[in-house]
């Protein structure tokens, strides 16, 4: 069922993003007096097709992993002399620029609308309270202490853990000090200078909190199993949702964190667990499998904790009216766009490992997880993916919208178009780059599995 939900979720997400992107091209092309021959969502054989009064064919094709808008263009075939004024290649360069930019712009508009809806609905956030601080860690040397609320990082407000993580991820590669402001339980503000050196460079995946040496504050979690992954060591050993782990190898266990520590330290070693299930005690043997994480081998059994009850004092509701939500939506879209552009730049310069690239498998898994996590998570993921699609399409790579935009800007400056030979050569380079990028993303997807 999980795989099916992931497939459905990714089809919905990608279908919506592609439709919005192509509609941007279509809508502006129509307004510029260009004849649109076909608007297709998906590639391959059309499943549904209809033609409107303008002669545009709208199709839903069999392969839902892309889409396109085909316009009348003399470069793709002969055009009747009476219709040449409707051809894309005959339009003024500014009109062609508008058509190209409209697709990515539509994705940014979708992100703004999605965030606007999310902020009006309101989100329940966990207050970013510092938990355990590791001795002699950067956090400890900067003076962070258990129970302090993080209110800003590098001057950026952090009302929740999402804000903290985004602010820290933006500092990948930093050396020197990170300025982190906190508030204690008496309301006193304090600014900390946390030392860093090439912060999170080439980490896969980036783990900002553990790199600084502290964990988020969490309420005590009982060692009760909330979920068990299929075909995992936990499932193979007989663990079920609702089981309470009472002892491991004869030693009592009262907290989930203690259970996690035992499992992580026991890769490949059988663990005898005394489990309370439906009023009776049973004994199971679980052998955690070994997993590599940041160069360290840890044990993994494939089970998650049950639901956690957070005290009201550690929760806050973030919501705005229509006007305030719109301001927040523009702010969040700008922030995520900047973060995406920055991440691409750092990946090119080697500060971020290319293994962080995500392909269709990871997108499907995250889409499914966010759909199961609720409306807020799904909308947030949809908005971020839409921003990523908009940014990627604006990269100056031939075959992408950004590549065409470069050609048209050169034409605008020079007063004549780039030669067909140069464009054809650029197209071959662009196809090779995109194909290589897709193969890399797919490879890293497989490695994550």
Instruction: Cite the active site residues.
Output: 22
Q: CA–CA distance from 438 to each of 217, 398, 414 (Å)?
A: 39, 15, 34
Of 75, 41, 44, which Cα lies nearest the Cα of 60? 41
- Report DSSP letters for 365-384, one per residue: HHHHHHHHH-HHHHHHHHHH
Separation of alpha carbons 337 and 391, rounded Å: 7
Bridge partner residues of 284 (DSSP): 273
355: enclosing H helix or E strand: none
Please say whether the beta carbons of 196 and 177 come within 8 A: yes
* SS percent in the chain: helix, strand, coil, step 5: 45, 25, 30
83: enclosing H helix or E strand: none
Cis before residue 409, ω within 30 degrees of 0?
Answer: no
Say whether 400 sits in a helix, a strand or coil. Answer: coil
Please say whether the beta carbons of 52 and 36 come within 8 A: no
* 320's tokens: 């705005």
Separation of alpha carbons 368 and 203, rounded Å: 25
Please say whether the beta carbons of 438 and 359 come within 8 A: yes
Separation of alpha carbons 10 and 95, rounded Å: 33
Please say whether the beta carbons of 332 and 182 come within 8 A: no
Separation of alpha carbons 18 and 24, rounded Å: 10
């Amino acid at each position: 069922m999980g795989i099916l939900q992931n497939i459905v979720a990714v089809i919905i997400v990608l279908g919506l993003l592609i439709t919005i992107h192509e509609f941007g091209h279509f809508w502006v092309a129509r307004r510029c007096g260009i004849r649109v021959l076909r608007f297709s969502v998906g590639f391959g054989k059309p499943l549904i097709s209809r033609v409107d009064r303008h002669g545009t064919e709208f199709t839903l094709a069999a392969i839902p992993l892309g889409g396109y808008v085909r316009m009348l263009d003399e470069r793709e075939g002969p055009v009747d002399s009476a219709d040449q004024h409707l051809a894309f290649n005959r339009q003024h360069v500014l009109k062609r620029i508008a058509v190209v930019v409209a697709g990515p712009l539509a994705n940014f508009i979708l992100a703004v609308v999605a965030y606007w809806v999310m902020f009006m609905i309101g989100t329940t956030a966990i207050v970013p309270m510092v938990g355990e601080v590791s001795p002699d860690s950067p956090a400890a040397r900067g003076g962070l202490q258990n129970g302090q609320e993080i209110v800003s990082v590098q001057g950026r407000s952090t009302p929740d853990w999402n804000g903290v993580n985004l602010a820290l991820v933006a500092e990948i590669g930093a050396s020197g000090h990170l300025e982190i402001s906190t508030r204690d339980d008496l309301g006193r503000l304090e600014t900390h200078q946390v030392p860093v050196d090439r912060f999170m460079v080439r980490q896969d995946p980036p783990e900002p909190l553990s790199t600084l040496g502290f964990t988020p504050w969490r309420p005590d979690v009982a060692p009760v199993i909330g979920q068990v992954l299929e075909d995992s060591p936990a499932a193979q050993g007989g663990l079920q949702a609702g089981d309470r782990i009472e002892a491991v190898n004869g030693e009592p266990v009262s907290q989930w964190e203690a259970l996690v520590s035992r499992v992580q330290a026991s890769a490949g070693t059988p663990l005898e667990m005394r489990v309370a299930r439906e009023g009776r005690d049973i004994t199971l043997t679980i052998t955690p499998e070994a997993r590599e994480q940041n160069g360290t081998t840890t044990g993994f059994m494939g089970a998650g904790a049950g639901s956690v009850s957070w005290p009201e004092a550690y929760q806050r509701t973030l919501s705005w009216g229509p006007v305030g939500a719109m301001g927040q939506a523009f702010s969040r879209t700008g922030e995520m766009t900047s973060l995406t552009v920055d991440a691409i730049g750092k990946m090119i310069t080697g500060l971020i490992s290319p293994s962080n690239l995500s392909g269709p498998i990871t997108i499907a898994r995250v889409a499914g997880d966010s759909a199961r996590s609720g409306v807020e998570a799904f909308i947030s993921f949809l908005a971020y993916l839409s921003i990523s699609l908009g940014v990627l399409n604006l990269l100056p790579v031939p075959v992408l919208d950004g590549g065409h935009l470069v050609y048209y800007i050169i034409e605008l400056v020079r007063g004549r178009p780039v030669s067909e030979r140069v464009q054809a050569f650029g197209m071959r380079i662009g196809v090779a780059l995109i194909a290589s990028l897709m193969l890399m993303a797919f490879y890293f997807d497989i490695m994550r599995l």
